[in-house]
Amino acid sequence: MAFSEKWQQLMNSVSLGINRATQMGDEMFGNAPKTAYDKETTTGFAYADLLNKICSELKLQLESMFTPNPIRRAAKLFTTELNLNVPGDQPPLEKLASILNDCYVEMGNTDFSETFVEFAPSLLELGKSEQQMKVEIKDGLLAIINDFLTGYWPDLQASNAINMSARERQKLDLLRLDYDWSRNGKRNRDAEKAEKAKENFERQIYVVQVLLKQCEVTRDKLAAGLLEMAKAQDRHYERCEEIVQGLAVKASEEEYVK
């Protein structure tokens, strides 16, 4: 690119920045009209912000449920950020069952060790049921949450200190400033420029509304995911009850035989 072209781009950027700052200042002091977004768009923004808050809180709570130990959660986050391949921990119930089996081997054939070896399979079944519940939640509700937080929300949200790229909502605000500045006849008498600013603004409104519609879809998916999580938990608790009742029946039968 020639130097003259680069210089012209720089001048255009400076001029655009000055125009936006002027329009923003005039709006602040009530010296210039400000285009208001329609009710559907403003309501969509409010729903999107609320959905982001709900998804963030739900993800935090689900991670706490999957990994109750906060130190382990921090370690998983650290290893994930560094892309380290760390083998997964053995589920607690399976680990306890393994310990009971080891105790049986070391203690030999005694009444106490027999209790261990009979109790261990039930712990394994409880652990499998718990893992199945977690898998269903991860593949369902958590997948919906991650899809929104890592997909649609970053495209919609405004830039911040961490992510300085102008996202669609911020682009809309900037193009709105351009449009309001260009339609002020005292500043701009170029009808073609005003029409182009209007087209850019309306096109960006459409882009943002598409993303906001996706937020509505995510909201419906989230409600369905919460229902499926409740069903998965209910199945797990029913299975736990069956296993514990089976142990109780077995214990009573052995006591009767004695």
Per the domain annotation, does 14 fall within a domain? no
The upper half-sphere exposure of residue 216, i.e. CA atoms within 13 Å in the direction of its Cβ, equals 11
Tokens representing residue 206 in the block: 């459409």
Per the domain annotation, does 3 fall within a domain? no
Q: What is the mean pLDDT of residues 195-214?
A: 92
Tally of domains within the chain: 1
For 23-27, 38-42, 87-91, which range has the lowest pLDDT when averaged over its residues? 87-91
Predicted structure pTM score: 0.75
Cα–Cα distance for residue pair 123/90, rounded to 1 Å: 13
Q: What is the mean pLDDT of residues 189-200?
A: 87
Tens-place pLDDT, residues 145-192: 999 999 889 888 755 534 434 589 889 999 999 999 888 766 666 788
Per the domain annotation, does 79 fall within a domain? yes
- Please report, for the domain that includes residue 176, its CATH number: 1.20.1270.60
pLDDT value at 84 more than 60: no
For residue 185, what pLDDT is reported? Answer: 67
Per the domain annotation, does 30 fall within a domain? no
pLDDT value at 88 more than 50: yes
Residues 206-237 as b or e (16 or more Cβ within 10 Å = b)? eebbebbebbeebbebbeebeebbeebeeebe
For residue 90, what pLDDT is reported? Answer: 66
Per the domain annotation, does 25 fall within a domain? no
For residue 190, what pLDDT is reported? Answer: 78
What mean pLDDT is reported for the chain? 82
Per the domain annotation, does 244 fall within a domain? yes
Cα–Cα distance for residue pair 186/216, rounded to 1 Å: 41
Query: Which bin fits 2, alpha (ψ -120 to 50), beta or left (φ > 0)?
Result: beta
DSSP H helical ranges for 29-157: 39-66, 70-81, 92-107, 111-137, 143-147, 153-156
Per the structure, the complete domain to which residue 223 belongs is given by: 36-253
For residue 257, what pLDDT is reported? Answer: 41
pLDDT value at 97 more than 50: yes
Cα–Cα distance for residue pair 94/122, rounded to 1 Å: 10
For residue 76, what pLDDT is reported? Answer: 65
For residue 258, what pLDDT is reported? Answer: 47
Tens-place pLDDT, residues 107-142: 777 666 667 777 788 888 888 899 999 999 999 999
Angle 106-107-108 (CA atoms, 0-180°, nearest 5)? 95
Confidence tier at 212 by pLDDT (50, 70, 90): very high
Per the domain annotation, does 179 fall within a domain? yes
Per the domain annotation, does 4 fall within a domain? no
